[in-house]
Amino acid sequence: MTIFLTDADVRAAFGWPEAVAALRAAYGAPPDEARFPPRTMARGEGLWLRTLSGVPGDGAPMGAKLIAASPRSRRAAYLIPLFDQDTVELLALLDGNAVTGFRTAATSALAADALAPPGTVTVGVIGSGFEAQHHVRALAAVRELSSVTVFSPDPRSRARFTSRLADLGVPLHTADTAAKAVEGAGLVLCAARSRDERPTLREVPAGTTVVSIGSTLPEQRELGTEVIERAALVVADQLHEVAYETGDLIAAQEAGVDLAGKLVPLADVISGRARGRPDPDAIVVYKSVGSAVQDLAVAAMCVRRAAELSLGTELPVTVAPVAK
């Protein structure tokens, strides 16, 4: 039977440690670019439909995430179908709304754990929205956090951030500038859209690990060119898209920064095909644009957990495979 998971089911089934473990398995699989093709976008008048598809190399369910959006009405819908790789049976349909936020943060936690020096981590956060909050929760699932300091232009947003994360039991502080938020931080999280698309992070000390998720389009900026230039390593969840379709790396290359030798895929770091942090004093950047690898790994994990917790609805009918 096909299981349908609502947004509430997905949230109830989700777990940060389980998501990071699923992503570690997915990124540790043998490389095969054909398994995860570039995302596609169909456009109409004021409408678009984006598709991210994949066949995981670890044998997990294959599938896709479909995003239907109407920017003119400020509405979007997310659907994830999962198919068994052996029988091609439709295993599950998920409301993918929550999956997007969860998978981004869980993948960042996986990357940060692999790239940051061992031990407790002091975190500076630029941005206070749900992505920033998810990321702190994800990081707390893989590392002990000594403190978290957040900057957001609106003091009310900063207060809301600390209130919603109070249950973590981690010292939470606020700062009135981005520079103050990252001062003394070993791990810096950039999770906010830049004002006027100007970089929000320009200087970091030696030994800092930077996680950047807020600039995913050519017109968006988050990291100053000097951060990319000083970085000994830039790890990308999607190598080509990060290099040529994000404003930060486009600007860095236009300024003459040579990415050769410093830009590597996250999959290579997790699998051991490439080394991570070269030394304790290196600046290391993880840059994310999102991918089907993440969506499918987290969605499949939620389906497994939902079965254990008796969540979801069995559909009375399904899509039956046919002989071809």
* CATH classification number, 104-287, choose in 3.20.10.10, 2.60.120.260, 3.30.465.10, 3.40.50.720: 3.40.50.720
pTM above 0.85, yes or no: yes
Please give the average per-residue pLDDT across 14-27, as a whole number: 96
Please give the average per-residue pLDDT across 205-214, as a whole number: 95
Phi-psi region of 119 (alpha: psi -120 to 50; beta: other; left: phi over 0): left
Supply the pLDDT for residue 195. 62
Supply the pLDDT for residue 324. 87
Please give the average per-residue pLDDT across 251-265, as a whole number: 94
Please give the average per-residue pLDDT across 177-194, as a whole number: 92
Please give the average per-residue pLDDT across 139-143, as a whole number: 97
**Residues carrying CATH 3.40.50.720, the chain:** 104-287
Supply the pLDDT for residue 234. 97
Supply the pLDDT for residue 38. 87
Asked if pLDDT for residue 134 goes beyond 90, the answer is: yes
In the structure, how many helices (H) and strands (E) does the chain have?
Answer: 11, 15
**Residues carrying CATH 3.30.1780.10, the chain:** 3-100+292-314
Between 97-115 and 130-142, two packed helices, what is the crossing angle to 10 degrees? Answer: 50
Share of the chain above pLDDT 70, in %: 99
CB 126 within 8 A of CB 190: yes
Among candidate residues 213, 215, 249, the one with its CA nearest the CA of residue 100: 213
Tokens 């807020």 appear where? 214
Choice among 11-15, 79-83, 238-242, 299-303 with the minimum mean pLDDT: 238-242
Supply the pLDDT for residue 217. 83
Q: What CATH code is assigned to 3-100+292-314? A: 3.30.1780.10
Supply the pLDDT for residue 214. 86
Distance CA 23, CA 132 (A): 19
Q: Could you give the 3-state DSSP secondary structure of residue 149?
A: strand
Supply the pLDDT for residue 194. 65
pLDDT category of residue 33 using cuts at 50, 70 and 90: confident
Give tens-digit pLDDT for 34-79.
999 988 999 999 899 999 999 999 899 999 999 999 988 999 999 9
Supply the pLDDT for residue 193. 72
Start-to-end CA span in the chain (Å): 22
Among candidate residues 127, 126, 67, the one with its CA nearest the CA of residue 97: 67
